[in-house]
A and B are shown apart, each in its own frame.
Chain A
Amino acid sequence: MVAMTPAGDYRTSYRADTTIFPTRNSRIALFIGLALLCCAPLLLGRYELSLLINIGFLGIAALGLNILVGFTGQISIGHAAFFGLGAFTSAWLHEHLGIPVMLCIPLAGIVTALIGLVFGAPAARLKGLYLAIATLAAQFILEDFFARARWFTGGVAGRMTESPVLFGFAFDRDETFFYLTLAWVVIMFVAAANLMRSRDGRALVAVRDHYLSAEMMGINLAYYRTLSFGIASLYAGIGGALYAHYLLFVSVEAFNILFSIQFLGMVIIGGLGSVMGSLMGAAFMVMLPEVTQWGAEALAGSAIDQALRLGASISFLREMVVGAAIILFLIFEPDGLARRWRLIKAYWKLYPYSH
């Protein structure tokens, strides 16, 4: 879709034409949004903050998967395993090598990226369903590794972690950890937006859209297909590391295939091939069970509640709603929330006209 820019907004330099936020209004909205987020710990309760933190680290990991699935057109159903690998790596690096947690987080991302490159190597040759099965293998290999490698993961007991500390300041409460997550979200999303407007980002999209002509344009298919796994794993690793140092405990069972499917759900719902869509998808996936719960509580005692026993079935009702959301999005809005958001913006801009 062509970006809708207001009349009279002329760009007079190529620099102005290649900015991430194209109009003045979008930049103002960005600053207001960031300012509001910075005030969030003052305005919101503990629980709401923890939801925002969840959206943050899941959003980072979802963005990684979106670079792989949405931008490069590959598929991975083992993303949660890399998320877990990041979590364990960061915890292990801190405990065994004594590296400060603040450094462990990016290091975990790099280690995960390297492992991701290894598992991404088949992607240079496989496509579609076959690649999906290969990544499924990655999921199970890593899950099995987590369960067996007691030295690394603490085995069944799991692994305790510690809060990040920077110059004596501990990010050990929701109010402070929120800022750390926010900083990483901003860094990782800006990096992705930058990537997409430079050489290698375009190459990834070219590989997705038409790999034969991409090759004729001088793009090394094997390199970019593998690289996209590496970048996806980098994001998963950093998201996972934040998760580990937020929950302060990493359990082996958390990173199963269902979690991987949830990441795919975030990417589909948010919008394949959209940077901001990844965050929207993560927000949707975090908020949906909350809304379901809230809906069930609101209906408590009513005729519907009595007929369906909502109170008793709330746990699997949450799972079902997530599944239904993915299906409905695939049918009615395959381009996800990102496209819906663009349509809403266009609607306001053109009001009261429809076109």
Chain B
Amino acid sequence: MNAHKILLLLIGLSIMGCSDLEEEPVGLLSPDGFFSTPEDIQIGVNASLTHAINEEVWGRKLSVALMLRSDMVNLNSTQTRRVEMNMHTITGDNEMVFDPWTRIYLGIAAANNAIAGAEQVDAADDIKNPIAAQAYFARAFYYFHLVRLFGDVPYIDTPVSDIAAATNLSNTPEAEIYEKIISDLEYAEQWLPNTVATRATPSKAAAKSYLALVYLTRAGTNGTADFQMAYDKAKEVITNKGTYDVDLDPDFQTLFNANKIDASKEPIFALDYNNNEAPDNAYDQIAPMTGIRGDDDGGNGGWSVATPTIAVFNSFDPDDYRTRVSFQTEALINDTTVDYTDFQSSGHEHAVNAPYIAKYLRFPGPFARGNKRATSHNYSMIRYAEVLLIAAEAGVEIGAADALDFLNEVRGRARNGGESTNGGYVPETIAPNAVPADLASITVADVLEERRIELAFECKRWYDIKRRQLGDQVFSASGYEGAKPDWNASVDYDTPIPQDEIDRNPNLSN
């Protein structure tokens, strides 16, 4: 054959190669084949956990909603979505429902992704399962919020591939979701390590503590078997506190001091906040939401949206160290230190003459935006004191003798005093004192009251009111916020599923 034939033959043959037409996107972050190393599982876990710090969840919308729905925090704002929270008139269009709903499900999807991804990672179980267990923990953490807020919700525990089927899901009953949460936490309990470098990484103690809280919550007012399991799980943490490196912090103020909290043993699971104005509002705004309007501190103070009533303040023993740590009674306004009876001297319409919540605004640590936005305060989601109180409450229910000891241990720590302030921003060392004294015997009501004082403004109270069905009592005229005329126990314990979501899938219902 001469040259041109060879040439043509070559052209003819070389270009016949058939492509399989599969796309191989290099520049696109494709989920297919993403998970190949244990580090990749961690990347998925990181995504799941970071959705919790977002303004749509703990950064503001969920945390503030939980405060407003409790009997301890009042509203100084006319925004409808907040009024609905405070007055228990929540509609399906409320952003403080919609935003946490969407963002929590983003966290669940990221966890599902990591869990499914772990299956594809070729590594020994003892290498990859402890990482995957963080995702199981995260998924349980998110569903536990959902089930406490909404009751029945759609349940998904794998990456969604069949869009049509997933779009038509119905709600999964609350009881089934509890089973799934418990199963996830048991996996986490099995594989998570005893200790972790930061409490923002889930640990074995975190899984056990949450299991205790889940059982306690599911027990409601009379679930004896669950009370027993709650007691058992809490005790596993208490008995092994050395192994898990958890304990009460000697100084109650440390728990609400961003500069000290990371070294404390008390937080068991926390969220990782940094002084970073991260994209997509992935930062904290609780500090400004609870901050004092017109306060000179923190670049023009806070926004005075969520404040306690004076009745709440008065319900605390003034000699209890926890009162000083929990309430801001002084502020610097126009270069003058004033007490709470003069907080309105700033002239701002939303400022109130009452003590403010101090747990967020006093020691926010470095923050990235004015009004103490984007703080570096790693808020505790569960801490050792709560584990003691779970053991105490469940213990009372099952008649355990040591229930009283656990409660008194919490009260005892408060008597230590510590490095706090005068109620404003002036540092003061508070000497140990005799208040609160140990109790000689306790009832369930005593434990709930102890939780109210110890965990005040930590977004625990609404869930306590719901699980103990306290609404009719605490939202009556004798409640700390006075009568809530719209409170209706038959509907208001459950949050309505967002209407927008029902529009997208009419199979969902409230």
Do A and B assemble together?
no
Which residue numbers of A lie inside 8 Å of B, CB to CB?
none
